[in-house]
Amino acid sequence: MPAPPPPAPLPLLLGATLGFRAALLLLRRLPLPAHVRGHPLRTWRWHNLLVSLAHSVLSGLWALLCVWQSPEMLVEVETASSPSGYLLVCLSTGYFLHDSADIVLSGQSRASWEYLVHHVLAISAFVSGIFKGSFVAGGVLTLFVEVSNIFLTMRMMMKLSDNQGGLFYRVNKYINLVMYFFFRLAPQAYLTSFFLQYWGQMTQGAFLLSILLMLDLMILIYFSRLLRSDFCPERASLRPNKDKFLTE
């Protein structure tokens, strides 16, 4: 049977959401790169990415630690759980709530609509673990993606600050490919295979599978953008000019 959730998940979600809001206010005090300073949209995006980077480092390493401490999460996707894993899922849900609010309140909903769709899907899936105590392990495994996001976020910050011509950017783009495969494509493929095989035998299996398939599609689209932007720049230059740091 799934482990029962803590008696008060809402305070945990509220605390996590407010915690990331506080992190945003603190990170706003840091100096801005010259290419970002004085540009309101770039300034907002820089601060937004700083919080995203903090979440990725924290949740990505935490997810790996959870599975190291409870390796049964790799096979018991529906029923395996741990207090640490539960808190991690709450923390990341709080981040997605915070980031959604930050995008909407900053007037960037149209430019960042893909992020909002992703956050709605992630929150909807994590609710199973938070309020019903099931699929906590599945939530932890999906957060492996945050290890990849560490390097993707650094990539976007270098592009935003006009530092994509340096050695670190060139090295990072190859690291991105490796991390994208091991911590984004591979975990998603494993979870998709699991749900396709067992979804009919599990409560909420069809609902979670539908969310997972939509996330799979988004991940493949992002991967094609990454390859086009970093490894086929001549093709990327043929696309309409827009604020790519918001979408790629």
Going by the DSSP 8-state scheme, the letter that residue 31 receives in this structure is P
Q: Is residue 2 one of the residues assigned to a domain? A: no
Q: How confident is the model at residue 145 (pLDDT cuts 50, 70, 90)?
A: very high
Q: How many residues does the chain have?
A: 248
pLDDT (average), residues 133-145: 93
Spacing of C-alpha 224 from chain mean position: 17
Q: Is residue 147 one of the residues assigned to a domain? A: yes
Res 248: pLDDT: 45
Q: Is residue 246 one of the residues assigned to a domain? A: no
Q: Is residue 245 one of the residues assigned to a domain? A: no
CB neighbours of residue 1 within 10 Å: 6
Going by the DSSP 8-state scheme, the letter that residue 240 receives in this structure is P
* Three-state SS at 81: coil
Query: Rounded to an integer, what distance in angstroms lies between the CA atom of residue 49 and that of residue 46?
Result: 5
* Mean pLDDT of the residues in the chain: 89
Query: Rounded to an integer, what distance in angstroms lies between the CA atom of residue 216 and that of residue 196?
Result: 13
Query: Rounded to an integer, what distance in angstroms lies between the CA atom of residue 64 and that of residue 242?
Result: 36
Count the domains in the chain: 1
Q: Is residue 18 one of the residues assigned to a domain? A: yes
User: 243 pLDDT exceeds 50?
Assistant: no
* Three-state SS at 187: helix
* Contact assessment for residue 67 and residue 171, using Cβ atoms and an 8 Å cutoff: no
Give, to the nearest 10 degrees, the angle between helix 145-160 and helix 167-180: 150
SS3 breakdown of the chain: % helix, strand, coil, rounded to 5?
75, 0, 25
Q: Is residue 243 one of the residues assigned to a domain? A: no
pLDDT (average), residues 101-129: 92
HSE-CB at 76 with a 13 A cutoff on CA atoms is 13
pLDDT digit string, tens, across residues 168-215: 999 999 999 999 999 999 999 999 998 888 766 666 778 888 999 999
Spacing of C-alpha 153 from chain mean position: 10
CB neighbours of residue 161 within 10 Å: 18
* Three-state SS at 34: coil
User: 241 pLDDT exceeds 80?
Assistant: no
Among 90, 111, 86, 112, residue whose Cα is nearest residue 99: 112
Q: Is residue 144 one of the residues assigned to a domain? A: yes
Q: Is residue 239 one of the residues assigned to a domain? A: no
Helices (H), ranges, the chain: 9-27, 40-69, 83-105, 113-132, 136-142, 145-160, 167-180, 186-198, 205-231, 233-236
* Three-state SS at 2: coil
Give the range of the structural domain holding residue 157, as residue numbers without chain letter: 9-28+37-233
